Amino acid sequence: MKRMKQLIKEYQEIEIPEHIQTVVKDALHQKKKSKLKKLYIGVAVAASLFITSVNTSSTIAYAFTDIPILDKVVDIITFREFKVDEDTYKADYKVPAVTNLESKELENSLNEKYLKESEQLYRSFLADMKELKKNGGGHLGENSGYEIKTDTKQLLSIARYYVNTVGSSSTTMKFDTIDKEKEIFITLPSLFKNENYIEVISKNIQEQMRTQMKEDPELTYWVSGTGEKLVFDPFEKIVKDQNFYINNKGKLVISFDKYEVSPGYMGVVEFIIPTEVIQNELMSNEYIK
């Protein structure tokens, strides 16, 4: 359990490259679309990963599976797949890559982040595997991958997941939402006028939790006001950059990792926030309908 928490902590603490933070900040404040400077960082990153693969005994499989996107404006490919398959040690990390964005700076920054995440997970797994072998052996199992949550003419939302499959398994999610037309990276704070959205959304989620538990006794959330004795601290509010995506209907979806606000059997849980609840907090209805 301690190792699981550490792995989740390490995954969540993987820093977003400075390039992408700059792209987001600049894009959100531009009044007119501008041509962004092209950065050709992909080759260098790929080369470093190739060197890593040559110097390890584990397998790195390369897969390039195209996933069709509406009007072929943007493509998502499985750029790399890191694999370990040795007796009681199993790992499989699938790395997505965004292609065909006009803004190569945004495209390369996203792909650099995805590669960095997977490489860090892979290196950590190899180190843990080596340590276990040195101490007599054991079991390790991890996998990561991605799925397309939203694909409209305007928006693309990519979910990346990391799963620890040994013992009491855990699942950690990360999301990216991109405006394909303006070619900018959308953050949760950028959707709202100020930070009031945190309180408004949190209260709505608490209400949804209580309602769901009342309607279905099989559901359990760690929330106050249900009349049940709480074993864990109740959910109080989302964080400023809480996991989210915008679904195909233009609704804001807030996501929580396994064990974050509910018992493990509930898995990853999501809450669709009614637009009327957050309407007064929104910057506009360009994305949230």
Number of domains composing the chain: 2
Query: Which CATH number goes with the domain that contains 102?
Result: 3.30.565.40
Average pLDDT of the residues in 142-166: 94
Per-residue pLDDT of 218-235, as tens digits, reads: 999 999 999 888 889 999
124 and 211 both lie in a single domain: no
Average pLDDT of the residues in 247-267: 97
CB 22 within 8 A of CB 37: no
Instruction: Read off the pLDDT band of 12 (50, 70, 90).
Output: low
Which of 121, 155, 186 is where one domain is finished? 186
129 and 270 both lie in a single domain: no
Q: Tell me the residue ranges of DSSP E strands in 152-231.
A: 155-164, 170-179, 184-186
Residue 139 lies in a domain: yes
Instruction: Read off the pLDDT band of 243 (50, 70, 90).
Output: very high
Residue 130 lies in a domain: yes
156 and 105 both lie in a single domain: yes
Calculate what percentage of the chain has a pLDDT beyond 70: 75
Residue 286 lies in a domain: no
Around Cβ 182, how many Cβ atoms within 10 Å?
A: 14
Per-residue pLDDT of 53-83, as tens digits, reads: 333 334 444 343 344 434 445 789 999 999 9
CB 163 within 8 A of CB 144: yes
Q: At what angle do helices 2-12 and 104-134 cross, to 10 degrees?
A: 160
39 and 140 both lie in a single domain: yes
39 and 181 both lie in a single domain: yes
Q: What is the pLDDT of residue 166?
A: 83
Average pLDDT of the residues in 273-281: 99
Average pLDDT, the chain: 82
Instruction: Read off the pLDDT band of 252 (50, 70, 90).
Output: very high
Q: Among 14-28, 35-49, 95-109, 228-242, whose mean pLDDT is lowest?
A: 35-49
Residue 288 lies in a domain: no
134 and 83 both lie in a single domain: yes
- What size, in residues, is the chain? 289
Structural domain of residue 200, as residue ranges? 190-281
30 and 161 both lie in a single domain: yes
pLDDT of 286 higher than 80: yes
Per-residue pLDDT of 102-131, as tens digits, reads: 889 999 999 999 999 999 999 999 999 999
Q: Among 38-42, 204-208, 274-278, whose mean pLDDT is lowest?
A: 38-42
Residue 41 lies in a domain: yes
pLDDT of 251 higher than 80: yes
Residue 287 lies in a domain: no
* CA–CA separation, 207 and 258 (whole Å): 20
141 and 24 both lie in a single domain: yes
11 and 149 both lie in a single domain: yes
Q: What is the pTM of this model?
A: 0.76
75 and 171 both lie in a single domain: yes
pLDDT of 3 higher than 80: no
Per-residue pLDDT of 157-170, as tens digits, reads: 999 999 998 877 89
180 and 243 both lie in a single domain: no
Calculate what percentage of the chain has a pLDDT beyond 90: 68
* CA–CA separation, 76 and 59 (whole Å): 23
Residue 289 lies in a domain: no
Residue 81 lies in a domain: yes
Query: Which CATH number goes with the domain that contains 277?
Result: 3.90.640.20
24 and 76 both lie in a single domain: yes
Which of 186, 211, 242 is where one domain is finished? 186
Tokens of 154: 């305007």
Which of 171, 186, 201 is where one domain is finished? 186
* CA–CA separation, 109 and 105 (whole Å): 6
Tokens of 174: 């990360």
Instruction: Read off the pLDDT band of 11 (50, 70, 90).
Output: low
Q: What is the pLDDT of residue 107?
A: 93
- Alpha-carbon distances of 260 from 4, 208, 230, 257, rounded to whole Å: 13, 16, 14, 5
CB-based burial label for 259 (10 Å; 0-12, 13-18, 19+): buried
